[in-house]
């Protein structure tokens, strides 16, 4: 019989106040695509980092191709045929795509690496420019860089942590073709995803973690989404109730917004017009890097170059106002980048409240220039409870949370502010099925309470669940809106290429 590609036996990793992995055992065969499933904070990413040499376990052993191995660093992992695509990217912002990839492929010249990137990107449909600085890329484009970098190492074991979270359905299909081809050639794949339909389609084995322990092993193709949910979170996620919208007056109006890109790799916004009324959710779909970042910067106030009259909240022209002034008018905003923009990594969850809530807590939170930390921590603790955030309390620093739990906290922080206008980008990126259902339910509850909600997402399933109307953004242009009842995945997918027809919408 073929020996296993990877064996983990009794892996345990403890941190102060939490056991991330407890006596975890796992076996992956050559050519097997093996899912690791679990809710946020279940220990999945910790386990993957142990395999990749980024974290040292406290107990247990690892065998690779039947040999007892102690992987002490990612460099050793790569030398032994292990590559990993992280959920939170490991890229240097000031370097180009090619230079970032070159760091892990030092035996090649930069010119050779650049040529390899172009070839691999064309082969797998992961379009990327090797000369672009990473800081100019969208989240989805950064993920393409990570995937290409991993594929260029020709791994025997490829670890993918939420690889499709910011990819379009068409890009996911192409990626699955690549992964199935890799598996057929003998590459073993460890696949972390909260998208149960993906796991059932792609994977032929699955290990389920709950609270850091293995709670089940199965063949996901023989399971349903409901049975996988029960194994993962002990229950099926609640069904969303989507009531007919009770529309109020327009809260956000964008009128012929055109903005030249701020850097050579950005996207020009071209005549963007949209409206969001009180009591409705408007969704914006699109392939990453088509102007979403530029539009969100303009709406949030981070880019205040908009021409007079192009952005209005209620009747107020906010085109030249900065974020603080827009918040005072009721706008609350969740960016797609959790760490660095959504939260300061080294600050506690309590102190991260001060990023967007200092006006609302000024009387309770400040006295004579001093912060009342106790009241701040009480407020943070209430958000942690309400949104079921797994964290070591309000004093836990943001970077100590799993990606999904940090997302729940950031979304919760802004929803807790009772916004009049709520703009959110990638609301459920990397969160488990239970948390995704909760966040989407909170968005619908906001809408039903009369809030105007704009959701920018690359998850079509999500947009179809929460939106009342949909737009598509492509190459800096915005399609007409289509009522959700008249939208189809096929139509929206076509529009992502910029191929929409005004007459088609008008007569749909």
Q: Which of 91-100, 343-352, 401-410, 452-461 comes out lowest in average pLDDT?
A: 401-410
Q: Which of 80-94, 358-372, 470-484 comes out lowest in average pLDDT?
A: 358-372
Q: How far apart are CA 60 and CA 54, in angstroms?
A: 16
Look up tokens 């242009």; give the residue: 477
Using a 10 angstrom Cβ sphere, with 0-12 exposed, 13-18 middle and 19 or more buried, the burial of residue 108 is middle
- Phi, psi at residue 253, to the nearest 5°? -130, 125
Query: In the predicted model, is pLDDT for residue 1 greater than 60?
Result: no
Predicted confidence at residue 195, as pLDDT, reads 83
Q: What's the pLDDT tens digit per position in 425-475? A: 999 877 777 788 889 999 999 999 999 999 999 888 889 999 999 999 999
Strands (E), 451-494: 452-456, 469-474, 477-478, 482-483
- Cβ contacts of 231 within 8 Å, gap of 6 or more: 37, 208, 215, 216, 218, 223
In this predicted model, which residue has the larger pLDDT, 85 or 483? 483
Query: In the predicted model, is pLDDT for residue 104 greater than 70?
Result: no
User: Where residue 292 falls among pLDDT bands split at 50, 70, 90?
Assistant: very high
User: Where residue 360 falls among pLDDT bands split at 50, 70, 90?
Assistant: very low
Q: Do 321 and 304 form a contact (C-beta atoms < 8 A)?
A: yes
Predicted confidence at residue 366, as pLDDT, reads 47
User: Where residue 167 falls among pLDDT bands split at 50, 70, 90?
Assistant: low
Query: In the predicted model, is pLDDT for residue 198 greater than 90?
Result: no
Percentage of the chain with pLDDT > 70? 93
Domain 237-330+420-508 belongs to what topology?
Rossmann fold (3.40.50)
Instruction: Give the pLDDT mean for 378-383.
Output: 94
DSSP one-letter code for 397: B
Domains of the chain, by residue range, sit at 6-233, 237-330+420-508, 348-418
* DSSP string computed for 64-108: ETTEEE---SHHHHHHTTEEEE-SS----TTSBHHHHHHHT-TTS
Which class in CATH covers the domain with range 6-233?
Answer: alpha beta
Q: How far apart are CA 205 and CA 484, in angstroms?
A: 36
Which two three-digit tokens encode residue 315?
């009747």
Beta carbons within 10 angstroms of residue 468's beta carbon: 22
Percentage of the chain with pLDDT > 90? 58
pTM above 0.75, yes or no: no
- Phi, psi at residue 24, to the nearest 5°? -85, 130
Q: What is the mean pLDDT of the chain?
A: 88
- Phi, psi at residue 439, to the nearest 5°? -65, -45
Predicted confidence at residue 96, as pLDDT, reads 95
Q: Answer left, alpha or beta for residue 236, where phi above 0 means left and psi between -120 and 50 means alpha.
A: beta
User: Where residue 503 falls among pLDDT bands split at 50, 70, 90?
Assistant: very low
Query: In the predicted model, is pLDDT for residue 507 greater than 50?
Result: no
Q: What's the pLDDT tens digit per position in 171-192? A: 677 788 888 988 998 999 999 9
Q: How far apart are CA 38 and CA 192, in angstroms?
A: 9
Length in residues, the chain: 508
């Amino acid at each position: 019989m073929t020996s296993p590609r990877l064996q983990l036996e009794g892996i345990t990793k403890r941190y102060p106040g939490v056991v991330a992995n407890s006596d975890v055992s796992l076996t992956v065969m050559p050519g097997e695509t093996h899912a690791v499933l679990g809710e946020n904070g279940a220990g999945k990413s910790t386990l993957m980092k142990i395999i990749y040499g980024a974290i040292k376990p406290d107990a247990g052993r690892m065998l690779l191709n039947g040999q007892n191995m102690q992987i002490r660093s990612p460099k050793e992992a790569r030398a032994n045929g292990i590559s990993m695509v992280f959920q939170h990217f490991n890229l240097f912002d000031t370097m180009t795509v090619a230079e970032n990839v070159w760091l892990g492929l030092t035996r090649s010249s930069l010119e050779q690496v650049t040529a390899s990137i172009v070839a691999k990107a064309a082969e797998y449909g992961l379009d990327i420019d090797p000369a672009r600085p990473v800081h100019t890329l969208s989240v989805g484009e950064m993920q393409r860089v990570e995937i290409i970098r991993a594929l260029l190492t020709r791994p025997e074991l490829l670890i993918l942590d939420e690889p499709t979270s910011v990819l379009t359905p068409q890009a996911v299909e192409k990626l699955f073709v690549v992964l199935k081809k890799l598996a057929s050639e003998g590459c073993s794949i460890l696949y972390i995803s909260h998208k149960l339909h993906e796991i059932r389609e792609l994977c032929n084995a699955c290990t389920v973690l709950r609270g850091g322990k293995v709670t089940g092993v199965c063949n996901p193709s023989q399971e349903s989404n409901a049975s996988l949910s029960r194994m993962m979170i002990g229950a099926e996620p609640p069904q969303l109730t989507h009531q007919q919208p009770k529309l109020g007056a327009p809260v956000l109006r964008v009128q012929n917004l055109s903005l030249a890109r701020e850097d050579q790799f950005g996207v020009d916004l071209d005549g963007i017009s949209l409206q969001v009324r009180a009591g409705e959710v408007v969704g914006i779909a699109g392939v990453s890097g088509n102007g979403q970042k530029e539009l969100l910067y303009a709406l949030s106030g981070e880019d205040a170059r908009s021409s007079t009259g192009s952005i209005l909240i209620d009747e107020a022209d906010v085109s030249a106002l900065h974020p603080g002034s827009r918040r005072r008018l009721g706008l609350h905003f969740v960016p797609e980048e959790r760490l660095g923009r959504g939260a300061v990594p080294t600050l506690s969850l309590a102190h991260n409240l001060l990023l967007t809530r200092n006006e609302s807590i000024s009387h309770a939170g400040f006295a004579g220039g001093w912060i009342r930390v106790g009241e701040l921590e009480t407020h943070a603790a209430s958000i942690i409870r309400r949104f079921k955030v797994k964290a070591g309390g309000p004093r836990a620093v943001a970077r100590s949370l799993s990606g999904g739990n940090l997302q729940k906290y950031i979304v919760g922080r802004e929803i807790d502010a009772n916004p009049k206008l709520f703009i959110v980008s990638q609301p459920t990126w990397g969160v488990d099925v239970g948390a995704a259902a909760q966040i989407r339910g909170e968005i619908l509850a906001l809408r039903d309470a009369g809030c105007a909600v704009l959701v920018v997402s690359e998850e079509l399933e999500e947009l179809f669940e929460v939106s009342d109307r949909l737009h598509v953004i492509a190459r800096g242009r915005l399609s007409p809106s289509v009522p959700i009842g008249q939208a189809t995945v096929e139509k929206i997918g076509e529009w992502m290429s910029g191929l929409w027809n005004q007459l088609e919408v008008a007569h749909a």
